């Protein structure tokens, strides 16, 4: 029996914002497969101007559908920038579109983003984090939730708690902490235990994030961090049924025994067959969102991630690698059992 207090709370599973990966199409596919309580969009870059509504709608078409994915998962819209006043003005405009919430990005490690005064580099100045959160919160209706996502720091985690407390004092309603510094990027391990003091010190919900690739990782993350809520990113892209399996594990009071290799392989093979309609949905949706020449690349991107768990995805990717046209891609998909659907049948076709 675990002494971890988070193990007695059901917690939530959130889909992480992943720029260039988890767009509206993949959000729809992953949340339809089940297990997610909330999703956060890719970031909307805020610099020095008040953005038009169409900019927010382009990143988050869910805003036209009660800020939910087609399966009903609420979607928060993420803003990235360093100008408190400009962020506040844009948050106020975004709030008029009825988002399920607004999220502030203090976690992006990308050098280009950091050089332009955005993302994780802002963690060098906790006072500035407070000013941004406070200014944005004051500009928004009280009924619209404001959350933030941060890392443990830039070079070292020494000011992680100070940063988290500054954001909480600024009025955010929830905080996601990626358990690595900016300079660590996505290199394992994630330092889940370093999240425990943050969760203990803050009165708002704190969500653990980083390096959750399996149900076992999920349980270890919760035990080490003491946090009930977990955000999953790359693990969900590579294993689209992970959130559902986590949900099933949360409903069970008994610790599940590890599956034998033959049983695990049969489960994985069955999952791949169940995933084929989702591949078809993704392929149809992508064609409504990007130019034809870019659509095969987006499919290959997801297949590369899927190949971490599914050998079949790697085999399909190998065949598709030299293919560049939409028509030829569709032919290969059909030959591999993917029930390719007309683009007109995609729920994204009407909005494109």
Q: Out of 68, 86, 108, 163, pick the active-site residue.
A: 108
Nearest Cα residue to 20 out of 43, 40, 36, 38: 43
The response to whether 78 counts as a known ligand-binding position is: yes
Secondary element (H or E) of residue 42: strand 38-45
β partners of residue 176? 149, 207
Strand residue runs (E) in 46-113: 75-80, 102-106
108 is catalytic: yes
Q: At what angle do helices 242-251 and 24-33 cross, to 10 degrees?
A: 30
On the CB side of 285, how many CA atoms lie within 13 Å of its CA?
20
Nearest Cα residue to 205 out of 221, 224, 232, 229: 229
Q: What angle do CA 266, 271, 276 make, to 5 degrees?
A: 135
The response to whether 124 counts as a known ligand-binding position is: no
Please say whether the beta carbons of 40 and 15 come within 8 A: yes
The response to whether 209 counts as a known ligand-binding position is: yes
The response to whether 149 counts as a known ligand-binding position is: yes
Please say whether the beta carbons of 104 and 90 come within 8 A: no
- What Å distances lie between residue 349 and 281, 283, 329, 345, CA to CA? 12, 12, 19, 7
The response to whether 210 counts as a known ligand-binding position is: yes
Question: From its phi and psi, is residue 211 left (phi > 0), alpha (psi between -120 and 50) or beta?
Answer: left
Which residues are marked as active site? 108
Residues that constitute the known binding site for FMN: 78, 149, 209-211, 233-234
Residues that constitute the known binding site: 78, 149, 209-211, 233-234
């Amino acid at each position: 029996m675990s002494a971890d207090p988070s193990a007695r709370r059901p917690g939530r599973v959130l889909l992480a914002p992943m720029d260039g990966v988890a767009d509206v199409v993949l959000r729809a596919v992953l949340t339809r497969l089940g297990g997610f309580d909330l999703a956060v969009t890719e970031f909307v870059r805020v610099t020095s101007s008040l953005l038009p509504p169409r900019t927010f709608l382009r990143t988050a078409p869910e805003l036209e559908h009660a800020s939910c994915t087609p399966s009903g998962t609420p979607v928060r819209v993420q803003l990235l920038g360093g100008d408190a006043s400009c962020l506040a003005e844009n948050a106020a405009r975004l709030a008029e579109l009825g988002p399920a919430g607004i999220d502030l990005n203090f976690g992006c490690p990308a050098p280009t983003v950091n050089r332009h005064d955005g993302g994780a580099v802002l963690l060098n100045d906790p006072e500035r984090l407070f000013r941004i959160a406070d200014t944005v919160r004051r500009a928004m209706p009280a009924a619209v939730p404001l959350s933030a996502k941060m890392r443990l720091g830039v070079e070292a985690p020494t000011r992680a708690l100070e940063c988290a407390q500054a954001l909480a004092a600024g009025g955010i309603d929830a905080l996601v902490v990626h358990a690595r510094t900016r300079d660590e990027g996505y290199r394992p391990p994630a330092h889940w235990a370093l999240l425990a003091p943050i969760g203990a010190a803050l009165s708002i919900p704190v969500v653990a994030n980083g390096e959750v690739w399996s149900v076992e990782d999920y349980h270890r993350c919760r035990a080490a961090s003491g946090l009930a809520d977990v955000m999953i990113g790359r693990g969900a892209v590579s294993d689209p049924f992970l959130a559902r399996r986590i949900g099933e594990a949360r409903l069970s009071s008994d610790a599940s025994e590890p599956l034998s290799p033959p049983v695990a392989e049969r489960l994985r093979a069955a999952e791949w067959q169940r995933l084929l309609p989702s591949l078809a949905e993704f392929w149809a949706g992508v064609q409504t969102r990007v130019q034809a020449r870019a659509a095969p690349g987006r499919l290959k991107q997801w297949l590369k991630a899927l190949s971490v768990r599914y050998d079949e995805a790697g085999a399909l990717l190998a065949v598709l690698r030299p293919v560049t046209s939409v028509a030829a891609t569709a032919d290969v998909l059909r030959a591999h059992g993917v029930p390719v659907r007309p683009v007109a049948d995609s729920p994204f076709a009407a909005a494109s």
